[in-house]
Amino acid sequence: MKNFDVYVKKQLLEKYPSMVFFLVVMLFPHFGAKAFGLFFIMLFSLASDVRQKRLDLMTFLPLNRRQIFWMEYLFLCLLLSTTFFVGLPFAERSIYAWLVLVRSFIFFSSYFGVIISAVSIGFDPYGAAFLFLLVDLVLGGIGSSQLGPTFNPYKLISPVYQANLLASLVFALILIYMAYRLFTQRGGER
């Protein structure tokens, strides 16, 4: 727990200037707003540290990559939950408000997985994130999620469209696991 406290303090102190705007955007009780904010906050967080060769600052302390990975994930979950609950009184009072939280969580987990995987193997996280977003929007936008001649199975797991919540959650978990393996084994070593 003490390590997580340290990590939260470090991330908040270091990143707040670049995070404030997106955190405000995330207060809106709408999936699009939350996805937009999360997308940029993820880019400015751990991925940016690895890209700028600043990960050593943490690994020189009594922290290992495994901890850093999960603390970053938890930290972003915390930001998502906090902004959700702060914005909740302004949301529509229905199950859909909570659905926004679930969908945002799936979106965040998928993109976090992609961004951290990309940066761990030496790719530019910004390029990888925008490319994946483009592919996700285009590929997920084609066809229908209903069985038929235009059936597009990707639509079911697409982090943006999430035609099937369970399938997209499983896809997100796979991406997270892949990111965890790549980050702990390679961690964008340079």
Partner 1 sequence: MIRVEHLRKQLGNKQVLSDVSFTVEPGTIFALIGPNGAGKTTTIRCLTGALQADGGQIELFGENYKNFSQIYLKERMAVVPEERHVFRNFTAKDYVQIWSRLYSKWDDTIFSNFVARYSFDLSQKVESYSIGMKTILFVGLCVASQADLLILDEPTQHLDPTVRLEIMDMLKECASSGRTILISSHEIFEIEEYATHFGIIKEGRVIYSDSIDNAKENHRIVDKGENLQASDVIGLVGSSVLVKTKSDVGRYPRLNEIVVGYLTGHHERSLSLR
The verdict on 10 binding partner 1 (CB under 8 A) reads yes
Q: How far is the CB of 114 from partner 1 (least distance, A)?
A: 23
Taking a C-beta distance cutoff of 8 angstroms, is the pair 187, 120 a contact?
A: yes
Q: How far is the CB of 54 from partner 1 (least distance, A)?
A: 6
Q: Given the complex with partner 1, which of 61 and 134 has the nearer CB atom?
A: 61
Q: Which of residues 31-70 bind partner 1 (CB under 8 A)?
A: 54-57, 59-67
Give residue for tokens 């751990």.
46
Q: Given the complex with partner 1, which of 122 and 153 has the nearer CB atom?
A: 122
Residues 110-129 vs partner 1: string with x where CB under 8 A?
--------------------
The verdict on 8 binding partner 1 (CB under 8 A) reads no
What does 21-82 look like in DSSP terms, one character per residue?
Answer: HHHHHHTSSSHHHHHHHHHHHHHHTHHHHHHTT-THHHHTSS--HHHHHHHHHHHHHHHHHH
Q: Given the complex with partner 1, which of 11 and 168 has the nearer CB atom?
A: 11
Give residue for tokens 């003490």.
2
The verdict on 93 binding partner 1 (CB under 8 A) reads no
Give residue for tokens 């976090």.
112
Q: How far is the CB of 169 from partner 1 (least distance, A)?
A: 28
Q: How far is the C-alpha of 157 from the C-alpha of 139, rounded, in Å?
A: 11
Q: Which two tokens stand for residue 6?
A: 């340290």
Cβ neighbours of residue 30 under 8 Å, at least 6 residues apart?
100
Query: Which spans of this chain sit near partner 1 (rule: CB under 8 A)?
Result: 2-3, 5-6, 9-10, 13-14, 16-17, 54-57, 59-67, 184-185, 187, 189-190
